[in-house]
Amino acid sequence: MNPLEAETDALQRFYDNKLAIEEARRNNPEATFDYNHPFALMTQAEFKAHVRGVMFKESRSAFRSVRSVQLNVSAPKAESVDWTTGDCVNPVRDQGQCGSCWAFSAVGAAEPAHCIVTGELLDLSEQQVTSCSTDAGSDGCNGGWPYAALTYASTTGLCLESDYPYTSGDSSMTGSCDSSSCTVQQLSIGETVRVSGEEALDTALNTQPVSVIVEAGNSVWMNYRSGIITQCPGAESDHAVVAVGYDDSSYKLRNSWSTSWGEDGYIRIKRGESGLGMCNVAEDVVFPQIGDGPTPTVSPSPTKPTTSPSPTSAQPDVCENCSGCYYPAGDMCLPDEYTKEDCDYYSDEFGAVWCGP
C-alpha cells in the first residue's frame, strides 16, 4: 500500500468508526464514547478478531465439567459492592496484542480470592498462565478460558509477575512455559466452581470478585469511554473480564485493555437484565471457592438425557416464534450457536426447550 492509499484507508477507518460511535451514542444514552483508545483505527472485523480470547464453542463443552454450585441467593446482600475500593484488587493490566484475556480474567479473580483469605495481595504472573495453562484447549495468545486457568493456578501455584513478567502483549507470541525458573506461590484458594444468572452473580460478588465471559467484540465496547452500557449489539460471548462489583443500576467490570480505555480500564454495564444479563455477563460465571466466605451448597449434577426432552403442552406456545433453543427464564430464543445438544443439557438445569429443527 503506497502512502496515498494508506492515508485513504486510515480516513475510511476513521469515518466508519465515527458512524459506529454515533450509533453507540444513540443506543446507549447513559454512556459516552470517543476515539481516544488503542483501537481507534481498527475496522470492526479487526477489532472483533483482536478481542476474541475465549474459544466459546470449545469452552461451552468444557464448562459442563465445572462443578455447578447453588448459592443462597435469598441471603442478605449489600446494596452496592466495589472490591476496587479495598486492598485486594491490583491495578488494571494491558493484555496487548495477545488473545490472553482468559488468563488476565483468571488471575484477576485468583489474586483477590487469595487476598481475602490471607490479607496478602500478590501480583501474579499472567505470562505463566498464558504460556503454561493448556488444559481444556487453552492455547495462549490464540485464546483459552478462565476455568482452566483458575484450576491451573489452584493446583500448580503461580509465580510473581516480577519473576515471570508479561511479554506476550508486545510479541503476540504465547511463549514457551518456563515456570521452573521462579518461586511458585501456593495460593489459598479452593476448587473452581460456576454459577449462572444475575442473582447468583450478585451473591458471589458479596464474597469475592469473579471471572465472567462477555460479549465485547463490538463497536460499543471498542469505543466506550464512561457511563453505563444499556445495549450490547450481537449475541456471542467472546471476551473474559473480572466482575468487581455492582450498584443499584450497573455491574462494574475490570478489563485488560489498559487504563487508557474506558473508566481507567473499567466498564459499567446495566444491571437487572433478564436471561443472560447485559452483554451476557451472567451466563458463564466462575470463581475459586474460599473458606472465608459462605460455602455454596452443591446443586445436583445434571444427567444429560440420551434423547431430547419430551415436549410438554406448553411447547407449541413457547416455540411459536423460536426455531432452536428456547430459554424460559429469559423468555428468549437463544442464538443459533446453541445446538440441540446444548439445549438438551440446559433442559435439566434451566428448563430449556428444543424447538427444532
Domains in the chain: boundaries: 31-298, 315-354
The stretch 275-288 carries a mean pLDDT of 94
Lowest mean pLDDT, pick from 53-67, 222-236, 290-304: 290-304
Residue 266 confidence (pLDDT) above 90: yes
pLDDT score of 307: 34
Cβ atoms of 251 and 269 within 8 Å: the answer is yes
Residue 142 confidence (pLDDT) above 50: yes
Strands (E), 280-339: 285-288, 297-298, 325-327, 332-333
DSSP letter at 309?
P
Name which residue leads in pLDDT, 8 or 291. 8
> What are the catalytic residues?
101, 239, 255
Residue 327 confidence (pLDDT) above 90: no
pLDDT confidence of 317, banded at 50, 70, 90?
Answer: low
Residue 9 confidence (pLDDT) above 70: yes
Cis peptide before 288 (omega within 30 of 0): no
Rounded to whole angstroms, the Cα distance separating 132 from 52 reads 20
The stretch 232-246 carries a mean pLDDT of 91
Residue 148 confidence (pLDDT) above 80: yes
Rounded to whole angstroms, the Cα distance separating 157 from 107 reads 11
Residue 159 confidence (pLDDT) above 90: yes
Query: pLDDT tens digit string along 76-93?
Result: 999 999 999 999 999 999
The stretch 147-153 carries a mean pLDDT of 93
Residue 275 confidence (pLDDT) above 90: no
Q: Quote the mean pLDDT of the chain.
A: 85
Which residue carries 480500564 as its cell? 265
pLDDT score of 61: 60
Sheet strand arrangement including 353-354? 332-333, 325-327, 353-354
pTM of the predicted model over 0.85:
no
CATH number 3.90.70.10 is the correct assignment for the domain at 31-298: yes
Name which residue leads in pLDDT, 348 or 94. 94
Which residue carries 459442563 as its cell? 64
Contacts of 115 (CB under 8 A, 6+ apart): 87, 88, 121, 122
Cβ-based neighbour number of residue 260 at 10 Å? 12
